[in-house]
């Protein structure tokens, strides 16, 4: 074992990627540092560890989860596949390209269950505060053990923050909303479309959450859905029950007033207005301060904090790529901590960050964003021995996914793609997504189409 100690905060896909990166090094017979990971929930998986709760968790902590029942992958699974663990290896069969949440959770767990990673994780433990001790070059982290209601501290030579950034709602105010008589919630608290059957719904915001919650509510029987946009409409071919309007200006009781002078009455309002990077356990000089973007400021190679080179952030970018990008970052972070990647001096690091930021600024379209994130991952992977991933092919799939959504937002999840990891062509799912109301793992892996099921009842 090398004689330094690494602390990881969060056991979501990013934190688990860090554990996996060290494990793969250990398997080669190489020494690894002492590692401890702390997770505030009672299980791993981060967002993919679904909860019915809203508001606070069992121990009164702000609730992390933003996922809902009936959530199916919003991009092809072939774009997020781990290059050292394919979907076919996990399920033993070809599955469709857009699996439901529970199926993706099962896949994430499959790889990590094969390791001893669970032994390194202390669950129900929340990071409360971090200090950097300049003389010792160590982080002192204060944790709360939620089960035993005890506070304790630990010291680390490197600290890895993988706490996600789609958890703390960004919740703007609109005049009169306080008197709106129906349900008002943020997407963070949306747990399923059931309560909106036959209702007229207003969604504020026009990005991923608005798009998917609109389609979910349509699928499950909402009467009408209006998406109110600040900058740009989503502008796809919506069914007649979904429409887009410019931004709401204010509310009077259940009536919304829009910028174009129109008004409409609603039963419920869902804020799909994004999330804040909230890192309340970090002091000012260590805290990443950024909006949701592809290249957050202050992060060299999107990973190493520029003000303190022993502080590492994973998964803090806006995400086209997810699980395999977290892997790339974790492999890079591992090799850096093991002393295999030399850090340039501060000025050169800052110049590098500024170059990437300028490039992001020049992007305009979804395709540009895909190319940007592809180039970023290629760059960090070039420093590591992460198993080869054909990123040019993955980028093509992302671009085709963007087109699929534009062509038909209601059935893009029925399309199939081919794995760049093992060449498996995805299976056409037994039931079209719009008709499939049961998102359980059992039902998904079952071979019977929905109409035959109905007949046999
Ligand atoms: P998270 O998954 O958020 O995990 C962070 C972990 O840190 C959590 O377990 C949390 O409990 C823990 N934590 C936080 N604070 C502390 C603390 N102070 N102390 C200890 N532990 C702490 N991605 C896709 O690839 N496909 C999709 O279809 C998709 N759909 C999504 C839908 C929604 C509604 C949302 C919100 C996200 C979606 N994502 C999707 C993106 C998703 O965020 C990533 O897939 C992935 O979960 C990010 O991993 P992470 O580990 O960085 O963060
Ligand atoms: P995003 O992608 O960060 O988008 C936030 C949206 O909210 C975007 O359309 C913003 O409009 C809009 N927004 C933000 N503030 C306001 C205010 N004040 N008024 C009106 N509209 C506003 O968040 P999402 O939740 O959609 O997606 C995050 C992740 O969750 C994603 O990875 C998914 O997989 C699930 P803008 O375009 O900036 O004008």
pLDDT digits (tens, 9 = 90+) for 35-47: 999 999 999 999 9
- CA–centroid distance, residue 436 to ligand 1 (Å): 25
pLDDT in tens, 163-203: 999 999 999 999 999 999 999 999 999 999 999 999 999 99
Residue 329 has pLDDT above 70, yes or no: yes
Complex-level ipTM: 0.99
Q: What is the DSSP letter of 22?
A: H
* pTM, entire model: 0.97
User: Which residue puts its alpha carbon closest to atom 33 of ligand 1?
Assistant: 67
The C-alpha atoms of residue 421 and residue 131 are separated, in whole angstroms, by 41
Nearest CA to ligand 1 atom 24: 322
Average pLDDT, the chain: 96
Of all protein residues, the one whose alpha carbon is nearest to atom 19 of ligand 2 is 230
For residue 446, what pLDDT band results from cuts at 50, 70 and 90? confident
Cβ–ligand 2 contact at 43 (below 6 Å): no
Question: Which residue's CA is the nearest one to ligand 1's atom 44?
Answer: 322
Residue whose entry in the numeric block shows the structure tokens 């105010």: 173
What are the structure tokens assigned to 124, written together?
């129900």
Q: Is the CB of 73 under 6 A from ligand 2?
A: no
Closest approach atom of ligand 1 to CA 45: 9
Q: Is 170 in the pocket of ligand 2 (CB under 6 A)?
A: yes
Residue 109, Cβ neighbours under 10 Å: how many? 17
Phi, psi of 397 (to 5 degrees): -65, -40
Percent of the chain with pLDDT over 70: 98
Q: How many residues does the chain have?
A: 457
Higher-scoring residue by pLDDT: 314, 456 = 314
What token pair was written down for 266? 């609603």
Question: Which residues sit with their C-beta closer than 6 Å to ligand 1?
Answer: 9-15, 38-41, 46-48, 64, 66-67, 71, 73-75, 80, 126-127, 162-164, 166-167, 281, 315, 319, 322
Q: Which of these, 239, 212, 214, lies nearest to 226 by C-alpha position?
A: 214
86 pLDDT above the threshold of 60 = yes
Rounded to an integer, what distance in angstroms lies between the CA atom of residue 328 and that of residue 384?
8
pLDDT at site 457: 56
Ligand 1 centroid–CA 48 distance in Å is: 7
**Ligand 2: which residue has its CA nearest to atom 21?**
205
pLDDT interval class at 447 (50, 70, 90): confident
pLDDT of residue 279: 98
Which residue, 434, 448, 35, 441, is CA-closest to 216?
434
């Amino acid at each position: 074992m090398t004689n330094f100690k690494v602390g990881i905060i969060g056991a979501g896909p990013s934190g688990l990627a860090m554990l996996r990166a060290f494990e793969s090094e250990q398997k080669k017979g190489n020494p690894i540092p002492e590692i401890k990971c702390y997770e505030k929930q009672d299980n791993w998986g981060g967002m993919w560890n679904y909860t019915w709760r809203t508001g606070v968790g069992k121990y009164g902590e702000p609730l992390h989860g933003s996922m809902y029942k009936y959530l199916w992958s919003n991009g092809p699974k072939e774009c997020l596949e781990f290059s050292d663990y394919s979907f076919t290896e996990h399920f033993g069969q070809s599955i469709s390209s857009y699996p439901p949440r529970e199926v993706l959770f099962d896949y994430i767990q499959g790889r990590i269950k094969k390791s001893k990673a669970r032994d390194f994780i202390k669950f129900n433990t929340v990071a409360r505060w971090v200090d950097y001790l300049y003389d010792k070059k160590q982080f002192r982290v204060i944790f709360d053990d939620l089960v035993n209601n005890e506070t304790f501290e630990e010291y680390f030579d490197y600290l890895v923050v993988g706490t996600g950034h789609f958890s703390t709602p960004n919740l703007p105010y609109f005049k009169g909303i306080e008197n709106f008589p129906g349900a008002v919630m943020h997407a963070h608290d949306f747990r399923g479309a059931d309560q909106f059957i036959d209702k007229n719904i207003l969604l504020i915001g026009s990005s991923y959450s608005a798009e998917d919650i609109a389609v979910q509510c349509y699928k499950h029987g909402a009467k009408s859905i209006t998406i109110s946009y600040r900058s740009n409409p989503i502008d796809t071919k919506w069914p007649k029950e979904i429409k887009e309007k410019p931004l709401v200006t204010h509310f009077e009781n259940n009536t919304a007033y829009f910028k174009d002078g129109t008004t409409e009455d609603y039963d419920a309002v869902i804020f799909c207005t994004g999330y804040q990077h909230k890192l309340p356990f970090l002091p000012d000089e260590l805290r990443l301060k950024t909006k949701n973007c592809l290249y957050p400021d202050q992060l060299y190679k999107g990973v190493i904090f520029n003000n303190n080179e022993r502080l590492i952030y994973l998964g803090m970018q806006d995400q086209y790529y997810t699980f395999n990008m977290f892997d790339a970052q974790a492999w890079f972070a591992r090799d850096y901590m093991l002393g295999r990647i030399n850090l340039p001096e501060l000025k050169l690091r800052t110049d590098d960050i500024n170059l990437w930021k300028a490039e992001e600024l020049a992007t305009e379209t979804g395709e540009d964003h895909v190319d940007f994130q592809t180039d970023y991952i290629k760059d960090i992977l070039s420093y590591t021995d992460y198993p080869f991933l054909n990123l040019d092919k993955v980028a093509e799939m992302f671009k085709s996914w963007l087109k699929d959504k534009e062509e038909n937002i209601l059935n893009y999840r029925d399309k199939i793609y081919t794995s760049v990891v093992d060449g498996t062509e995805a299976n056409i799912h037994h039931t079209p997504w719009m008709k499939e109301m049961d998102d359980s793992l059992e039902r998904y892996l079952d071979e019977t189409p929905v109409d035959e099921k109905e007949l046999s009842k």
